[in-house]
Structure 1
């Protein structure tokens, strides 16, 4: 498409507020950053483009927390704690939490939950922590105080354009928007050569759970038979179809979204996002009849909900002093500046399939630590970057992008923000020992819950 330009007249932008901590993005990393910062007494605002928080876990229809648990020497344990424990308790009090279930050939636990309960629990967590929440505001740019410091985040909403000034910023946008606009270096894997493919989640109701469970592990085989016979074509080979809070309802993660040349949809390109939304719903339409006709337990089932947006797994990765790597994941690395842990394997959504790479060794520890340096961008001195856009290699991000480590990164950033502001320090210069002590006081574990 030919790019045309027009010149807009200069304008004055209203300042919507001034805060000590400004958090962009209400995904799992952003909500924990905002809650942690506000609980230190810092005036904190969370800016979210939708009317609720939760990120891929709500808008993306994910409905499962991955990465809260690890397979520690053969024993399944919850390894991410702190504010995550409080959130789980809040969801459970609303009747929205399942017992953890085994995933990926029964090698690791994941945690299913009810999306509506998740939204309400996050509302309560943020409000009771003292966070100011601004919904329905889309970030569109930044204003810089100088080449190293962000002065304000620019947003557009139904109320028009506005600026939110801050002393310290946390980028939990998923795409690294704020940090990239401010000049922080980043990497982005070429969509044609490895960028993780997005998916569109949907929910199925009216399932005969007992009959469906009997064939759950045979789904790839049934799909292969149907495809070989020419009855269906599937966008990817490895489906994830599981029961939810009520066993009548199942979650389906079976789509894979691509451009006409086969490359992954790029979540920073609005035209590709538009294509992905249309393609995802077409795939739901085309694939679901297979379940009704050929999978026991689904004969009377129907699609009750398609997620409000496609689930983006990878776009920009901000480059910090250290990039968490695949070797760090597979070798269960420790770091002197640890801020939490991650137990999820490398989960690479490649063309037509999902590749899982597990921690190395006969009896691996099953988790790696997350270094503070991965949430500190280069160039910027008053900004942290958390979530899937933190400083990771492509393969490292294929593991640590999931919810559990995002919770850990967010809580660390919100706590570090208070330390930086208290000491008048650059974001990367806080005393890591003090940060670790504060996190430990708030229930964070760095040892995977191991004892002895």
Structure 2
């Protein structure tokens, strides 16, 4: 069995959080290896969904550092729009997934980060509470990769679980999980027709309850390239009544892509899926792909402007909202999120909405809706701090976690899983791991002021003022 030596830090998972974590660790001086199961980096960032929560609801910047650099460099390629304030999401920004993907790999190359693609975590080798090495599987067989510090950016806490860290699975009360979805892209759309329909049917624009003003008007969205909205509930009810729609979701989100006649569509939903169970994942992949086909027929038949649309791309895998989360020495709460709370040891900020998809099982109900078809989404008006304690796993001495598996409650994770928050926590985790390796200390023993100093030097946003 091959042993791949010579690294201070190993990051497992090269999605939104992991790619940034790897760059951060390398820039902080650590010899860093990033292990990724696919052939490109960025994860769900490369699906083309708009970025929500770069600013908070009052327009104050919440994301800086490497994440902001990625956005600005992609913008130079025409790949991102300016950030627009949004009455439902706080802030929103359109993006081109291919520009983001290519910019990210360029930044990786410049940083000196080493990559091991097409490789999958198989196991962790642990001795006296410390990870000595990870075992990964790839086309060549199994490899062992030792390091001083490890970063789990798998999204599912795979390394944390394998190493014996303290983890929680799903909602605390009952273990239920948010549903999974497959975000897909369609082309050949005529947005002028879509906007005209929404102007004539404002009830399908799904303005937030009690919202007064024109910021959620169709005119406002038409003036913001790449920024979309959710709604179309009446069309979904009509299609469901006609037997043309069986997806257990009551609305549809769409985001036009920058400079294209394309949009990302968020409409699929499958309940009862555990993203750590391969049989469940297989069922989810099959069901979401069949739902994409049904959604395409719905779009062509019912949604103005989509009559001639076609599928441009479907995701590399089904999107998982929730599986495992670590238990750190602090657990982020929804009160922290809503209050915009700060902490002495905060290493990142979050402003993505509290976005919780109904965990209930899908079942038909009166009125043309379905149980489990809703989404509870509320704006984060003032960004909140994320303590380093939320990124450091209990039960393992040398493990840092970033992305949606960080230490948070089921509700708070609905915000902390957002892409800009994953960028920020990935940046912090990479710096923590690099400093841990440099000083030969466990992450929990590092001085938070020293971590914050490096992050500020790298232009991360740590405080709102």
The reply to whether TM is greater than 0.5 is yes
2:412 pairs with 1:396 = yes
Q: What RMSD over aligned residues (CA atoms) do the two structures have, in Å?
A: 1.8
Give SS of 2:37's match. coil
Which of the numbers 250, 254, 258 marks the counterpart of 1:241?
254
Distance 1:112 1:358, change over 3 A: closer
Residue 53 of structure 1 is matched in structure 2 by 41
2:180 pairs with 1:203 = no
Query: What is the alpha-carbon distance in structure 2 between the residues aligned to residue 326 and residue 274 of structure 1?
Result: 32
2:173 pairs with 1:152 = no
Q: Give the superposition deviation at 1:301.
A: 1.3
Q: Give the superposition deviation at 1:193.
A: 5.7
Q: Give the superposition deviation at 1:222.
A: 1.9
Residue 180 of structure 1 is matched in structure 2 by 161
Q: Give the superposition deviation at 1:111.
A: 2.2
Residue 438 of structure 2 is matched in structure 1 by 422
Q: Is the 8 A contact 1:101 1:112 kept in 2?
A: no
Residues 149-193 of structure 1: per-residue CA shift (max 9 Å, x gap): 101111111111111110111111111111111110100126986
2:124 pairs with 1:111 = no
2:230 pairs with 1:214 = no
Which of the numbers 262, 274, 299 marks the counterpart of 1:291?
299
Residue 346 of structure 1 is matched in structure 2 by 354
Distance 1:102 1:253, change over 3 A: farther
Give SS of 1:19's match. coil
Residue 164 of structure 1 is matched in structure 2 by 145
Query: What is the alpha-carbon distance in structure 1 between the residues aligned to residue 323 and residue 398 of structure 2?
Result: 23
2:442 pairs with 1:434 = no
Give SS of 2:394's match. coil
Residue 423 of structure 2 is matched in structure 1 by 407
2:122 pairs with 1:140 = yes
Give SS of 1:299's match. coil
Query: What is the alpha-carbon distance in structure 1 between the residues aligned to residue 248 and residue 74 of structure 2?
Result: 33
Mapping for residues 56-75 of structure 1, pairs under 5 Å = 56-58=44-46, 61-72=47-58
Q: Give the superposition deviation at 1:62.
A: 4.7
TM-score by length of 1: 0.89
Structure 2 unaligned spans of 5+: 199-204, 206-230, 359-371
Q: Is the 8 A contact 2:169 2:175 kept in 1?
A: no
Distance 1:107 1:153, change over 3 A: closer
Q: Give the superposition deviation at 1:245.
A: 1.3
TM-score by length of 2: 0.86
Q: Is the 8 A contact 2:30 2:438 kept in 1?
A: no
Q: Is the 8 A contact 2:89 2:352 kept in 1?
A: no
Structure 1 unaligned spans of 5+: 1-12
Residue 357 of structure 1 is matched in structure 2 by 378
Query: What is the alpha-carbon distance in structure 1 between the residues aligned to residue 171 and residue 386 of structure 2?
Result: 25
Residue 383 of structure 1 is matched in structure 2 by 399
Q: Is the 8 A contact 1:64 1:111 kept in 2?
A: yes
Residue 371 of structure 1 is matched in structure 2 by 387
Q: Is the 8 A contact 2:322 2:404 kept in 1?
A: yes
Q: Give the superposition deviation at 1:68.
A: 1.7
Q: Is the 8 A contact 2:48 2:95 kept in 1?
A: no
Deviation larger for 193-202 or 204-213: 193-202
Give SS of 1:45's match. strand
Deviation larger for 331-340 or 76-85: 76-85
Distance 1:23 1:182, change over 3 A: same
Residue 9 of structure 1 is matched in structure 2 by none
Q: Give the superposition deviation at 1:231.
A: 3.9
Query: What is the alpha-carbon distance in structure 2 between the residues aligned to residue 99 and residue 197 of structure 1?
Result: 31
Mapping for residues 255-334 of structure 1, pairs under 5 Å = 255-258=268-271, 263=272, 265-334=273-342
Residue 29 of structure 1 is matched in structure 2 by 17
Distance 1:378 1:107, change over 3 A: closer
Q: Is the 8 A contact 1:197 1:349 kept in 2?
A: yes
Residue 91 of structure 1 is matched in structure 2 by 74
Q: Is the 8 A contact 2:94 2:255 kept in 1?
A: no
Q: Give the superposition deviation at 1:212.
A: 1.4
Matched positions, count: 420
Residues 318-341 of structure 1: per-residue CA shift (max 9 Å, x gap): 111011111111121111111121
Residue 3 of structure 1 is matched in structure 2 by none
Distance 1:419 1:231, change over 3 A: closer
